[in-house]
Amino acid sequence: MTIFFIFYLLIVGGATYGSISAELTYQKFDLNGDGNFSNNEITAEQIIAEKNLISDTGRNFSFITGLIFSGILAFFVFVIGKTTEYLKRRKTTHNNL
């Protein structure tokens, strides 16, 4: 369960960090701070920053993909852990006979 939460937080946290970073980069181009971009504020760099900010489907769905990938990873870690535990217990029981 710990593995699940760690990876889920890493995935969602990384997406949140990316979203905040894109927003801050975009806001750097708003020279007068009014929230609107006038003709002198629109540059090629501003257009790229805007595209990076609004093209964020992956960041928006990170909570779903995080659930899927973290669940799959946690499942495999659980199965490997239980198998290892079973094999160690079996070996110990076999050696005691």
Per DSSP, 35 falls in state S
Surface-to-core class of residue 83, CB atoms within 10 Å of its CB (0-12 exposed, 13-18 middle, 19+ buried):
exposed
Q: What are phi and psi of 55, to 5 degrees?
A: -95, 70
Instruction: Give the pLDDT confidence score for residue 96 in this predicted structure.
Output: 62
In angstroms, the CA 73 to CA 81 distance is 12
pLDDT bracket for residue 9 (50, 70, 90): very high
Tell me the pLDDT tens digit for each residue of 25-61: 888 888 777 777 777 788 888 888 888 888 888 888 9
Q: What is the Cα–Cα distance from 50 to 36, expressed in whole angstroms?
A: 12
Residue 34 is predicted with a pLDDT of 75
- Predicted TM-score (pTM) of the model is 0.72
Contact 16, 75 (CB under 8 A): no
Domain limits of the chain? 2-96
Task: List, for residues 76-94, the tens digit of each pLDDT value.
Answer: 999 999 999 999 988 887 6
